[in-house]
Amino acid sequence: MLSVKVFLILCREIYFPVLTNPSIYKVSLLRDFCFYMIRYFIIYKPYLVLSQFSPVHGKQTLADFFDVPRDVYPVGRLDHDSEGLLILTNDTQLNHRLLHPKFAHEREYWVQVDGAITLQALTNLEAGIDINVDGKIHRTSPARVHLFSEEPDVPERNPPIRYRKEIPAPWISMILNEGKNRQVRKMTAAAGFPTLRLIRRRIEEIDLVDLQPGAIRELSGRIVYQKLFHEKK
């Protein structure tokens, strides 16, 4: 009687059991069936929600909004007072490639600032500006910054920002290739226009699109790697 061994084969979409002949050790992987064990989700993290599933007394966490497999976790984080795009997965390779500093990738933020931001301030943000990181002065990398001519179509926030009729609160887009702790808020404050509201809109080509706060969408591994790393897997 032919004996067999069962191996657990890792591909980007599934841990898939495959039977092999132990005398040959050749593995046949039906890639078309790789679609559900390694999971990828995008979510719109709401305002004042911690970027974690473990409970914290008196705080809302992702577990209050999203029901995902136990081994799925957020890649990176958003501060509790920021909102927008988070990627959730159990793909450790993706986690490494998104978080390691040597793998730079674009992140776009839509930022509502306090006051009529000037052209000089926008120029300073683009060129690089000094912020404090872990007690040291850090000059930010060049960024792409754009002032919206009209308020962008964004979900209402609960609670809303404070409203002062006499002080403008325009929106800007900031596209960064680095992600220091509270970097966007520190940058706009250093430019003289503190952040009132901060939404991460996209990471590379993965975009919130029509997601609303507290909403979730599952993506395939192929789509995730194409949109993040331009790989056709």
> Could you identify the residue written with the tokens 């841990």?
15
> What pLDDT is attached to residue 233?
55
- Cite the beta strand spans of the chain per DSSP E: 5-10, 15-20, 40-45, 49-50, 60-61, 73-75, 83-89, 107-113, 130-133, 136-139, 144-147, 171-176, 195-203, 206-207, 216-219
Task: Give start-end residues of each CATH 3.30.70.580 domain in the chain.
Answer: 39-104+205-233
pTM listed for this prediction: 0.83
List the structure tokens of 90.
């159990």
Active site residues: 79
List the structure tokens of 174.
């900031």
> 39-104+205-233 — its CATH code?
3.30.70.580
**Tens place of pLDDT per residue across the chain (233 aa):** 444 434 344 444 444 444 334 443 333 444 444 444 899 999 999 999 999 999 999 999 999 999 899 899 999 999 999 999 999 999 999 988 998 877 889 999 999 999 999 999 999 999 999 999 999 999 999 999 999 999 999 999 989 998 888 899 999 999 999 989 999 999 999 999 999 999 999 999 999 999 999 999 999 999 999 999 987 65
**Which run of H or E residues covers position 222?**
helix 221-229
**Which run of H or E residues covers position 96?**
helix 92-99
List the structure tokens of 132.
């404090």
> Could you identify the residue written with the tokens 């959730």?
88
Dihedral, CA of residue 84, residue 153, residue 175 and residue 198, to nearest 10: -50
Residue 203 contacts residue 228 (beta carbons within 8 Å): yes
CATH second-level architecture of 106-203? 2-Layer Sandwich (3.30)
Task: Give start-end residues of each CATH 3.30.70.1560 domain in the chain.
Answer: 106-203
For residues 156 and 164, give the distance between their C-alpha atoms in angstroms, rounded to a whole number: 17
> What pLDDT is attached to residue 164?
83
Task: Return all residues near 32 (Cβ < 8 A) that are at least 6 apart.
Answer: none
> What pLDDT is attached to residue 66?
93
Residue 194 contacts residue 182 (beta carbons within 8 Å): no
